């Protein structure tokens, strides 16, 4: 099974991955737009979580539990924990709330207590803010970050020469695993007659803003 291709195919089918003219947060004119929040039904979200589980197992990163940063990481971490358990890998999970609660169980964390090596699940890495906050939460809980798993790596330069993923790797010293990358998307477009008209624009965007590879 080719997880990245199946993921891209489903993302296109559900309108999660769209082609046209879009402006990114950085003000760049992008020929494609990705919004994982549009996996908005049970079947497609289950499939998404299965793609994450497959990517995690294929990467072979040692980890003891999962963490999902609010808000998109909350349903994601629960769904991925279920899909991993279905494959015989039963791990505890935890997520945070944005505002501390002063009654009931209190605090900002919900789920299993943070411990051991913690794998962070998010949709994408843009400025790396969510990862930094997650690393701080994990460290504050006496655990250590094991890595980050995202849906799509845009392989795009940030403020400097590195991509957001490369910056996370160098700053935090942890691996980043993506279900699919921009290179995977370009390969997919080249093999798909219905979407091939978008190939040149995406290739040109990568030439302008992309990095050579994620090494």
Q: What is the CATH classification number for the domain harbouring 114? A: 3.40.50.2020
Residue 114 C-beta-side C-alpha neighbours within 13 Å: 24
Q: How many distinct structural domains can be found in the chain?
A: 1
Cα–Cα dist 10/7, whole Å: 5
Higher confidence at residue 185 or residue 102?
Answer: 185
What domain range is 39 assigned to?
3-209
The answer to whether residue 215 sits within a structural domain is no
Query: Can you tell me the mean pLDDT for 11-18?
Result: 97
The answer to whether residue 214 sits within a structural domain is no
pLDDT greater than 50 at residue 106: no
- What confidence tens digit (pLDDT) does each residue in 140-181 have? 999 999 999 999 999 998 778 899 899 999 999 999 999 999
The answer to whether residue 12 sits within a structural domain is yes
Q: Give the pLDDT of residue 102.
A: 56
Distances (CA, A) of 77 to 4, 10, 62, 111, 201: 19, 20, 17, 11, 34
Cα–Cα dist 138/120, whole Å: 9
The answer to whether residue 114 sits within a structural domain is yes
Residues recognised as catalytic:
101, 103
């Amino acid at each position: 099974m080719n997880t990245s291709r199946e993921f891209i195919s489903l993302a296109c089918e559900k309108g999660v991955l769209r082609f046209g003219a879009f402006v990114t947060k950085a003000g760049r004119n992008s020929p494609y737009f990705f919004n994982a929040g549009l996996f908005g039904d049970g079947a497609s979200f289950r499939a998404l979580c299965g793609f994450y589980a497959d990517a995690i197992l294929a990467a072979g990163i040692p980890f003891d539990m999962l963490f999902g940063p609010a808000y998109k990481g909350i349903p994601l971490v629960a769904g991925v924990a279920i899909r991993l358990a279905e494959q015989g890998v039963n791990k505890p999970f935890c997520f945070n709330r944005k505002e501390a609660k002063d009654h009931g169980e209190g605090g900002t964390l919900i789920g299993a207590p943070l411990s051991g090596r913690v794998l962070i699940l998010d949709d994408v890495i843009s400025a790396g803010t969510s990862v930094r906050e997650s690393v701080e939460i994990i460290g504050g809980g006496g655990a250590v970050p094991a890595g980050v798993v995202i849906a799509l790596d845009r392989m795009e330069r940030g403020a400097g020469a590195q991509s957001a993923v490369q910056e996370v790797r160098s700053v935090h010293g942890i691996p980043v695993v993506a279900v699919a990358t921009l290179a995977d998307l370009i390969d997919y477009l080249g093999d798909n007659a219905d979407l091939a008209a978008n190939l040149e624009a995406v290739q040109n965007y990568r030439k302008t803003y992309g990095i050579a590879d994620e090494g």
